[in-house]
Chain A
Amino acid sequence: MSIEVVMPQMGESVVEGTVTKWLVKEGDRVREDQPLCEISTDKVDTEIPSPGTGLIAKLIAAEGETLPVGAPLAVIEAAAAGAAAAAPAGVRPQPKAAPALPPAPGKAAGAGAPSPARPQQPPALRAVRSEPRPQAAAAHAAAQASAAGPAADAVAASPGTARAGGGEAAGGARAHRRYSPVVMRMAEEHGIDLGRVPGSGIGGRVSKRDVLAYLDALQAGQVRPPGAAGGATKGANGQEATQAASAAAVAQPSQTAARPGAPPAALPVGLPGGAGYRPPVYQPREGDVVEPFTRRRKLIAEHMVYSKTHSPHVGTLAEVDLTRVTRLRNKHKDAFAAQEGFALTLLPLAAAATVRALKEFPRMNASVVGDSLIVRHQINLGIAMDTEEGLLVPVIKAAEGMSVTGLAREIERLRRKIADKKIAADDLAGGSFTLTNPGREGNLFGFAIINQPQVGILRMGEIKKRPVVVEVDGEDTLAIRTMMYLALSYDHRVIDGVLGNSFLYRAARILEEADFEL
């Protein structure tokens, strides 16, 4: 009997993963639960354990290949069998060219023919796969649903609600984006970028009919061919994407496809009209060390470029007197440490102030999706954390209902998960606003880049005692106070100055007043 190893479902919003490294090769004998390969998703890196004991018959996925959830990665010939070697009587072979077709179960002939039925879910993977193997229709729907957020996929190192535009793509599989011969030929004949053609086939596959429909739309002027926007970046015109229900072009056109009517979450990466500057050609010098981007670094880079390119950042700075809140912390820190087992820092207090200010200004707790601002009811506060492999932003879900202690526990829990390398994709998804604290050596202040598609990010600056002028009994006097600069970056596409300023002002005052229960 052969066991198929598939791309596991690693989190609700994860639709694909990249095989970064095979740890076994064809012909190797493997035990159940032995790691087979390393998988990297836009959220987490993990190893895939072997679903059974046997011989690696075939490695289907290549290193570096990105495949949808449920896609076959390898085939293990289970120890006992040998049945699959000779196609048993009465078995309809699965068409190899059609991986998206669901296997026809129970096609084994009755007359004592050995059953070749391959397990749809290897037992070892059942625990991590919350969704069934995508059936044709589900895969189709999910591929369409996920399509609204291709750029978000590409950029999301910590994408929060990136996929909101197309609905949650749980369990969905994006098409392999292999094209049939006729589709390839027609694309060449008509000069079509197939990444722009919405697919209606199984798993979002682009069929001949889809190409014909696209050509019709092109002719009817409902879609514009790439490059028609007068040298502007592909698809920079959001109108195109909505009108044509065509894929919004992104850096990876092979990942695009859009649902008709869905707001185009994906806008192109790349500077509009920025064809001019090219960095100088690299000249190697002795001692240079070349560090190729890791996958996470690449995702962070794309996310940052996307954010800076699409969202006009405004920076605003507030001075915060932390004397009172520091006193509050100092008063409770021993009892807190004794009770909770970890130290009380200023971070949960700043988080509590942020949440309270967000409640007062709900429009700051929002996402930009296409041409819409989506105001989020639930406050999911992302807390930026530094890790060995780079920046991660775990998310405190439903922070609006949490006390300072609750927030502190949640931050500690996420911190530990990162330290233990157990952070899950779902821990990193769904953020609606972000707070970042670069810590002791974070310098005076700085403006962070907005974590898309959110609309603002708060950055804590250096905490330092300074002489400040205070009023005591109507008299101005110098006093030594614990001070910090709190910097807000907000997206001027959707947040105007009055709102941005008011929000920051309130966040700073709430933190100063230190009216927190502990």
Chain B
Amino acid sequence: MEATYLKAINQALHEEMRRDDNVFVMGEDVGELGGAFKVTEGLLDAFGEDRVIDTPISEALIVGAGIGAAILGMRPVLEMQFGDFISCAFDQIVNTAATLRYRHGGKASCPLVVRAPSGAGVHGALFHSQNPEAWFTRVPGLKVVAPATPYDAKGLLKSAVRDNNPVIYFEHKRLYRSVKEDLPEGDFTVPIGPAELRLEGRDLSIITYGGTMHQALDAARIVEKEDGLKVEVLDLRTLLPLDREAILATARKTGKVLIAHEDRLTGGIGGEVAAIIAEHAFDYLDGPIRRVAALDTHVAFSPPLEEYILPNTNKIVEAIRELAAY
């Protein structure tokens, strides 16, 4: 059955809550309103207000309460209305949730999911366009995922719910209604960890994730048609832990790597990916590892400026051509 990215997430929530009574949803406007983006629509009617809880506007409270519930055996799915405000819950996530297992000698676990609608390109300006994933991709004890397709959105959310560790789930707002896919009937999951090769190529590899994955695919199709270049596209899907084998395999195969993400250049996960390649696949490199990312500034409200700041298909095409010619 065909489903949008948003619908896929909604289905995953329904199915997981049906499957396991310990799963519950908590966040701002997730109940009555069905979520600011309607991701949690229908949950309140289906599962009642004990399992679909509207909270005050406090991300720290949402995650803090979630941690407590998780310790006691529940499996909370916590929504940050906008990923931009996940920083309000930063301390709860990195100091409490991420360390819990370690602090208790492995005897305690914190099986919670923090859903963070993130990403730009929706004219959301500074507080509604952020890609905060890199703040979490260096925190031991967390898992970080960023699906790009409806199938992955559904499968990864189910895996996240069933995982016994805190998982930060970044869902890209621009993809909510812009990508559709036929989803198989019945239960399926996408494992946390493995990356997915979306396109096989020969000349160059793009390593990407989230919203940028679709731009990378478009760019690969353009250069194949116009330049005869065969570009490989690797969708990371999980940002922590990174699929080092898949990263190194594609780097070794093509020898030229372009990393594309919507997060800012400096400190983005692309730097880590580049470092892994430089360290472990140096002998296979045929050019500099290049990155296309958002400029190191805040996403502007003005549409032309937003366009200028963010990566897009054309910028990726340009970078592919430069790197291929190198």
Q: Mark A67-101, 1 if CB is under 8 A from B, else 0.
A: 00000000000000000000101111001111011
Point out the residues of chain A lying under 8 angstroms from B308, CB to CB.
Answer: 109-110
Whole-angstrom CA separation of A185 from B297 in the bound complex: 39
Question: Does B183 reach chain A (CB closer than 8 Å)?
Answer: no
Question: Does B325 reach chain A (CB closer than 8 Å)?
Answer: yes
Q: A92-B265, A97-B288, A182-B284 are in contact. Are A201 and B325 (CB under 8 A)?
A: yes
Cβ 8 A contact of A205, one of B285, B290, B326 = B326
Question: Does B286 reach chain A (CB closer than 8 Å)?
Answer: yes
Whole-angstrom CA separation of A350 from B285 in the bound complex: 61
CB B321 to nearest CB in A, in angstroms, measures: 9
CB A116 to nearest CB in B, in angstroms, measures: 12
Point out the residues of chain B lying under 8 angstroms from A181, CB to CB.
Answer: 282-286
Whole-angstrom CA separation of A202 from B203 in the bound complex: 15
Point out the residues of chain A lying under 8 angstroms from B322, CB to CB.
Answer: 101, 136
Is B284 within 8 A of A109, CB to CB? no
Whole-angstrom CA separation of A439 from B325 in the bound complex: 55
Is A89 within 8 A of B295, CB to CB? yes
Is B288 within 8 A of A185, CB to CB? no
Point out the residues of chain A lying under 8 angstroms from B300, CB to CB.
Answer: 110-111
The bracket for how many chain B residues form the interface is 20 to 34
Question: Does B273 reach chain A (CB closer than 8 Å)?
Answer: no
Q: A89-B296, A92-B265, A136-B325 are in contact. Are A109 and B287 (CB under 8 A)?
A: no
Interface of A is mostly: loop
Is A90 within 8 A of B290, CB to CB? no
Cβ 8 A contact of A202, one of B265, B285, B286, B326 = B326
Question: Does A183 reach chain B (CB closer than 8 Å)?
Answer: yes
Whole-angstrom CA separation of A113 from B282 in the bound complex: 35
Is B326 within 8 A of A110, CB to CB? no
Point out the residues of chain A lying under 8 angstroms from B326, CB to CB.
Answer: 98, 100-101, 201-202, 205, 207
Is A110 within 8 A of B305, CB to CB? yes
Is B305 within 8 A of A90, CB to CB? no
Point out the residues of chain A lying under 8 angstroms from B203, CB to CB.
Answer: 209
Question: Does A208 reach chain B (CB closer than 8 Å)?
Answer: yes
Whole-angstrom CA separation of A298 from B253 in the bound complex: 44
Q: Which of B265, B297, B300 has the most CB of A within 10 A?
A: B297
Whole-angstrom CA separation of A96 from B244 in the bound complex: 25
Point out the residues of chain A lying under 8 angstroms from B290, CB to CB.
Answer: 95
Whole-angstrom CA separation of A183 from B326 in the bound complex: 13
Question: Does A130 reach chain B (CB closer than 8 Å)?
Answer: no
Is B296 within 8 A of A182, CB to CB? no
Q: Mark A196-215, 1 if CB is under 8 A from B, else 0.
A: 00000110010111000000
Whole-angstrom CA separation of A205 from B308 in the bound complex: 31
Question: Does A180 reach chain B (CB closer than 8 Å)?
Answer: yes
Question: Does B255 reach chain A (CB closer than 8 Å)?
Answer: yes
> Which positions 201-257 of chain A face chain B at CB distance < 8 Å?
201-202, 205, 207-209
Point out the residues of chain A lying under 8 angstroms from B309, CB to CB.
Answer: 90, 109
Whole-angstrom CA separation of A202 from B265 in the bound complex: 25
> Which positions 236-289 of chain B face chain A at CB distance < 8 Å?
255, 265-266, 282-288
Is B286 within 8 A of A87, CB to CB? no
Is A207 within 8 A of B286, CB to CB? yes
CB A11 to nearest CB in B, in angstroms, measures: 28
Point out the residues of chain B lying under 8 angstroms from A180, CB to CB.
Answer: 255, 285-287
Is B286 within 8 A of A109, CB to CB? no
Cβ 8 A contact of B283, one of A101, A185, A205, A209 = A185
Q: Mark A242-285, 1 if CB is under 8 A from B, else 0.
A: 00000000000000000000000000000000000000000000
Whose C-beta in chain B lies nearest to the C-beta of A108? B295
CB A319 to nearest CB in B, in angstroms, measures: 62
Point out the residues of chain A lying under 8 angstroms from B265, CB to CB.
Answer: 92
Is B288 within 8 A of A90, CB to CB? no
Whole-angstrom CA separation of A280 from B199 in the bound complex: 64
CB B262 to nearest CB in A, in angstroms, measures: 15
Whole-angstrom CA separation of A98 from B324 in the bound complex: 12
> Which positions 306-321 of chain B face chain A at CB distance < 8 Å?
308-309
Is A98 within 8 A of B287, CB to CB? yes
Q: A110-B305, A110-B308, A180-B287 are in contact. Are A90 and B296 (CB under 8 A)?
A: yes
Q: Mark B150-187, 1 if CB is under 8 A from A, else 0.
A: 00000000000000000000000000000000000000
Whole-angstrom CA separation of A209 from B282 in the bound complex: 17
Whose C-beta in chain A lies nearest to the C-beta of B285? A181
Q: Mark A330-363, 1 if CB is under 8 A from B, else 0.
A: 0000000000000000000000000000000000
Is B296 within 8 A of A91, CB to CB? yes
Point out the residues of chain A lying under 8 angstroms from B286, CB to CB.
Answer: 180-183, 207-209
Whole-angstrom CA separation of A92 from B297 in the bound complex: 11
Whole-angstrom CA separation of A434 from B80 in the bound complex: 84
Is A182 within 8 A of B283, CB to CB? yes
Apart from A90-B309, A110-B305, A208-B286, 10 more pairs, CB < 8 Å? A98-B288, A98-B326, A109-B297, A110-B300, A136-B325, A140-B325, A181-B286, A182-B284, A202-B325, A207-B287
Give the 4 A-B CB pairs with smallest separation, nearest first. A90-B295, A97-B288, A208-B286, A89-B297
B: which residues have CB within 8 A of A? 203, 255, 265-266, 282-288, 290, 295-297, 300, 305, 308-309, 322, 325-326
18 A-B pairs within 8 Å (CB atoms) are namely A89-B295, A91-B296, A92-B265, A95-B290, A98-B287, A109-B309, A110-B308, A111-B297, A136-B325, A140-B325, A181-B283, A182-B284, A182-B285, A183-B286, A201-B326, A205-B326, A208-B255, A209-B203
